């Protein structure tokens, strides 16, 4: 069976029910996609942006496991999950940023 999020092969479940996702992160992304309508936001932003706003490098949307959405203002600081606050970024860049509020100097250091 293949992961419903990325298409990688999924190992068999240990207790009866087959697994739909290869990892908990993909299960969480699928949940958020349903809850917040991320699918529509993802489609709109992927057509609008071709580079990571943190490092400036090209985003390869054909490799979905390397690209994710980042809240420019983290939700812990009141940022919303909508088109105005989300940007597509590399997974590594998003992990480096964490929940910090970014400044132009932070972006320059990443490039």
Strand partners, 58: 51
- The least confident of 32-36, 58-62, 87-91 is 32-36
pTM above 0.85, yes or no: no
3-class SS letters over 35-68: HHCHHHHHHHHHHHCCECCCCCCECCCCCHHHEE
**pLDDT for residue 109 is more than 60:** no
Residue 29 token pair: 């992304």
Q: Does pLDDT of 47 surpass 60?
A: yes
pLDDT of residue 107: 58
Cβ(61)–Cβ(68) below 8 Å? no
Q: Tell me how crowded residue 37 is: count the other CB atoms within 10 A of its CB.
A: 12
Res 110: pLDDT: 53
């Amino acid at each position: 069976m293949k992961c419903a999020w990325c298409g990688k092969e999924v190992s068999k479940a240990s207790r009866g029910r087959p697994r739909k996702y290869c990892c908990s992160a993909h299960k969480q992304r699928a949940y958020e996609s349903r809850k917040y309508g991320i699918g529509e936001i993802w489609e709109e932003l992927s057509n609008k942006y071709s580079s990571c706003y943190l490092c400036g490098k090209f985003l390869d949307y054909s490799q979905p496991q390397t690209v994710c959405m980042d809240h420019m203002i983290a939700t812990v600081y009141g940022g919303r999950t909508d088109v105005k606050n989300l940007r597509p970024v590399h997974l590594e860049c998003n992990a480096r940023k964490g929940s910090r509020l970014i400044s132009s100097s932070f972006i320059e250091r990443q490039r």
